[in-house]
Structure formats: structure tokens, C-alpha cells
Amino acid sequence: MRCLAGLLGLGFALTVHAESENLEARVQLLEQRLSSSAMRDMMRQTDQLQHEVQELRGQLESIQHRLTRMEKTQRTQYLDIDARLRRLTGEESQTESPQASAQQAPEPAAELPPPAPVQSTQKPATPASQQASQAYREAYETLQAGHYDAAVDAFSAFLQRYPQGELSDNAWYWLGEAYYVKRDFNAARQAFRRLVERYPNSAKTSAALLKLGYVAYEEKRWQEARQHLEEVVARFPDSRAASLAADRLKRMKSERR
């Protein structure tokens, strides 16, 4: 009996050991499968993320390209509109004769007070005035070429060198325009305001007041924008600037500004 019990015990132990080894092997196999599956999933997720990143980069490059084209188009259109405004107001092209443009009479006498006296064009130009005209012409051509940072530097240098010159009012205006195109509205406002305050009889005053209204509009200072635009309409009722000011006032009204 004791021998039989021993044999049974030994057989049970061997069976348990064999089942234990079999179970351990199955567990190891399952762990390997799980590890392999997790690795494949991780690789698939990594590939998917890399693909999404590439797509996002492509979209970002496309958006940046579109923004660059839009900015260039906007600047071109802006300068074209300003050139049309100058032609409609009868202003002579400054790329051909900036000194003559600065000295011409403003719009009809009923619109503006008499212009400040300037040196007669009948007198021969002095070397200093020739240098000023050349510096002004170069700054203006820089602006027309679309080099706005360089134009700001050129007009600033001109005004520092010729603060009381015959072309100073024009220089202040174009300095403001350069800042406006760069969307540096604070600097643009200061330049346009300097022109309005120092040269109330300038042919550029109506346009400078208009641009002060535009600057305030861009900065969402609606009341100030309305005041400047209404001043343009009141002081220069028959000018092109007044027509543009009236259009912007209508726009503000439709926008409930």
C-alpha cells in the first residue's frame, strides 16, 4: 500500500510539473505575441504621425506662400490706388518733378486757405535745393519700388537734413504712406499728424487727414476714425479724398461701427 501511494504521489507530482512547464511555455509565447503586436501597432502609429506631420508642413508652406502673394498684391493695389488718387486730384507726377509737385497750388481755392509762400520756380535752383530734390526723388523711387524699410530710412534722413525744405510736407506724407503699407500704424499716424499740424495749407493735407481716418479704422478706434473722415468731408467737400472718406463712413455705418 505504501508503495502504491508513493507511486501515485510521484505520478501526480510529475503531471503537475509537466503542466506547469507547459503553462509557462504558453505564457511566454503569449507574451511574445503581445510584444510583437504592440511593436507593430507602435510602428504603424509612428508612420501615421510622420505622415500627418508631413501633410501639416505642406499645408503650412502653402498658407505661407498664399499670404506672401496676398501681401504683395495688397501692397501693389494700395500704391496703384494712391497713384490714381493723386492723378484725380490733379497732382503732378513726383517721379518726374518732385519740386514742382511740392510747389503747385492745392485744390480749388474754396477748399483750402491760400498756400504758404514758396520760392518762385522762376529763380535758378541753388545747389542745396538741387541736392534736396535729388534726395527726395531717390526716397520716392525707393518707395515706388516697394522697398518700404529703405523708404522709411530715406524719408527720415531727408526730413532730418531738410526739416524746413520745400518738399518737407510731401516727405512727411510719403513717410506716413511707407509706415502704413508696413502696417506700422502708430508711426504712420505720427507722420500724417505732423503733416496736418505743420502744413495745414499743403496739397497733401486732405490725403493725410484721410489716412489718419484709415489708421484709426485699422486700429478699431471707431470714434476717432469717424472724426477724421468727417473732417475731410467738411473741409474738402469736392476733393477725391472727401469721396473716399464718405465711402469709408458708409462702410462703417453698414458695419455698425
How confident is the model over 11-50, as pLDDT tens digits? Answer: 555 555 556 666 677 767 666 666 666 656 665 666 566 5
Instruction: Report the candidate in 187, 244, 189 with the shortest Cα–Cα distance to residue 215.
Output: 189
- pLDDT tens profile 96-136: 334 433 333 333 322 333 333 334 344 555 667 888 999 99
Asked whether 234 and 246 are in contact (CB, 8 A), the reply is no
Q: Where are the alpha helices (DSSP H) in the chain?
A: 2-88, 98-103, 127-144, 148-161, 168-181, 185-198, 205-218, 222-235, 240-254
DSSP string, 131-156: HHHHHHHHHHHHHHTT-HHHHHHHHH
Span 198-220, pLDDT tens digits: 999 999 999 999 999 999 999 99
**Whole-number average pLDDT of the chain:** 74
- pLDDT at residue 49, as a whole number: 66
Cβ atoms of 115 and 201 closer than 8 Å: yes
Q: Is residue 83 classed exposed, middle or buried when 0-12, 13-18 and 19+ CB atoms within 10 A define those classes?
A: middle
Record the pTM. 0.56
When pLDDT is averaged across residues 59-80 and rounded to a whole number, the result is: 62
Domain boundaries, the chain: 1-64
Share of the chain above pLDDT 90, in %: 46
